[in-house]
Chains A and B, each alone.
Chain A
């Protein structure tokens, strides 16, 4: 029996779980034909069922046969997504992308594995790395290049922007677009706070908040 596990029952997991059947129908019809069961994976859960789905511990999930098991990580923190997805992939589990039924992906090259695309759009001529997470009502406009494990909140519109690995752009942040020959750059591991207004390039590891934005602190970039 094929099992699809979504890790995390915090915020992101329950948002994407109801979208899995639609996503399978359009992107992995061969999996849908095998009538997979959908489970949450969460080690510290107090219940064994959540919103109509079984909740498994990570250890139980790892004991499943890898060739019949797919997963994705519904955690907003990019490093946690990297840690968990690399560990499970090393056991042979497949990383499955999940698309919202009202999402649209016109990316120039196919997005990296493990995308979690909410009610959002990715426009033409953009490239997307591994395990991107986009929440609702966002738009990745044209000529964007997103690194691996990037997190984009809701109501974010970016265009002509390069986003480094592990960067997070939170709800309603405004990033003024660069130009085709000089894209706006958001550094590796940078965090753009909710509603921040960014009109300059953001250095690696910077935490930017406010309107006009100021640098709250600089996190070390590994």
Chain B
């Protein structure tokens, strides 16, 4: 039995579930669908199944007897994603990258393992992407982009050419990053958050929260009335 544990039970995990069988077949061509088992892994108590799949605790998943065991951290928050992935790697479980058949990856794209690419994503040529990249639906990553580790994109994000997206950056739904020049790429600093529908037209300092069109730095506590992340 080949087991895939999808870490989390949220919207990202449910999206990941739809891509699971296709991705397992890519990793193990020729294996029958009966040979795969896909489970959710969650720390939160509650129902024991979700959409016909078992929900396990991390301890139960690690103790599970299987021929091959994979995990994918389908958690939108990049810090939690890193935590969960590190835990699983310590337990000797290997990451599985999940992509939907409708996702288009053009030549010259290098990616570290552990990504999640659901429907209708496009990765153009000459893109480098770090580990555990996480995209929403219908995102576009254009040419000559460098994307770091644990980067999260929401739905309909468009990242134009010549941009450097550092580790742990979150780009929310509908936001866009304007293209840089080959000798001066647009740089989004580590841990920055680009809020929904923001249009980023220049460099973003590490840890900044940007909102609006054109995007300006905002105070997240003022914006949301509390600590959002």
Residues on A lying within 8 angstroms of B by beta carbon are: 10-11, 14-15, 18, 51-52, 102, 119, 135-137, 153-155, 171-172, 193-197, 209-211
Cβ–Cβ contact A195 & B140, under 8 A: no
Q: In whole angstroms, what is the CA distance A155 to B106 when docked?
A: 19
Cβ–Cβ contact A154 & B158, under 8 A: yes
Cβ–Cβ contact B143 & A14, under 8 A: yes
Chain A contacts of B174 at CB under 8 A? 172
Chain B contacts of A136 at CB under 8 A? 122, 140
Q: In whole angstroms, what is the CA distance A150 to B199 when docked?
A: 22
Cβ–Cβ contact A194 & B178, under 8 A: yes
Q: In whole angstroms, what is the CA distance A10 to B160 when docked?
A: 12
Query: How near does chain B come to A83, taking the closest CB pair, in angstroms?
Result: 21
Q: B37 contacts the other chain (Cβ, under 8 Å)?
A: no
Cβ–Cβ contact B156 & A155, under 8 A: yes
Cβ–Cβ contact B107 & A51, under 8 A: yes
Q: In whole angstroms, what is the CA distance A118 to B120 when docked?
A: 13
Query: How near does chain A come to B198, taking the closest CB pair, in angstroms?
Result: 8
The 8 A-B residue pairs whose C-beta atoms are closest, nearest first, are A14-B125, A195-B199, A211-B213, A11-B143, A51-B107, A11-B161, A171-B158, A51-B108
Query: How near does chain B come to A64, taking the closest CB pair, in angstroms?
Result: 24
Cβ–Cβ contact B142 & A11, under 8 A: yes
Q: What would 7 A/B residue contacts be, using CB atoms closer than 8 Å?
A: A14-B125, A51-B108, A155-B138, A171-B158, A171-B160, A172-B158, A209-B213
Nearest CB in chain A to that of B201: its residue = A194
A11's contact among B120, B124, B158, B199, by CB below 8 Å, is which? B124
Q: In whole angstroms, what is the CA distance A193 to B178 when docked?
A: 9
Q: B217 contacts the other chain (Cβ, under 8 Å)?
A: no
Q: In whole angstroms, what is the CA distance A18 to B104 when docked?
A: 11
Cβ–Cβ contact B120 & A137, under 8 A: yes
Q: B126 contacts the other chain (Cβ, under 8 Å)?
A: yes
Chain A contacts of B178 at CB under 8 A? 194
Cβ–Cβ contact A195 & B156, under 8 A: no
Chain B 61-108 residues near chain A, CB threshold 8 A: 104, 106-108
Chain B contacts of A135 at CB under 8 A? 140
Cβ–Cβ contact A119 & B122, under 8 A: yes
Query: How near does chain B come to A128, taking the closest CB pair, in angstroms?
Result: 22
Q: In whole angstroms, what is the CA distance A108 to B125 when docked?
A: 33
Q: B19 contacts the other chain (Cβ, under 8 Å)?
A: no
Q: B164 contacts the other chain (Cβ, under 8 Å)?
A: no
Q: B176 contacts the other chain (Cβ, under 8 Å)?
A: yes
Chain B 191-227 residues near chain A, CB threshold 8 A: 197, 199, 201, 212-214
Residue among B140, B143, B179 with the highest chain A CB neighbour number at 10 A: B140
- Known pairs A137-B120, A137-B138, A195-B213; A15 contacts B106 (CB<8 A): yes
Cβ–Cβ contact A14 & B108, under 8 A: yes
Q: In whole angstroms, what is the CA distance A193 to B174 when docked?
A: 15
Query: How near does chain B come to A52, taking the closest CB pair, in angstroms?
Result: 6
Chain B contacts of A155 at CB under 8 A? 138, 140, 156, 158
Q: In whole angstroms, what is the CA distance A126 to B137 when docked?
A: 28
Nearest CB in chain B to that of A14: its residue = B125
Chain A contacts of B142 at CB under 8 A? 11
Nearest CB in chain A to that of B182: its residue = A10
Chain A contacts of B187 at CB under 8 A? none
Cβ–Cβ contact A51 & B125, under 8 A: yes
- Known pairs A15-B124, A209-B214; A172 contacts B176 (CB<8 A): yes
Chain B contacts of A102 at CB under 8 A? 104
Residue among B104, B160, B199 with the highest chain A CB neighbour number at 10 A: B199
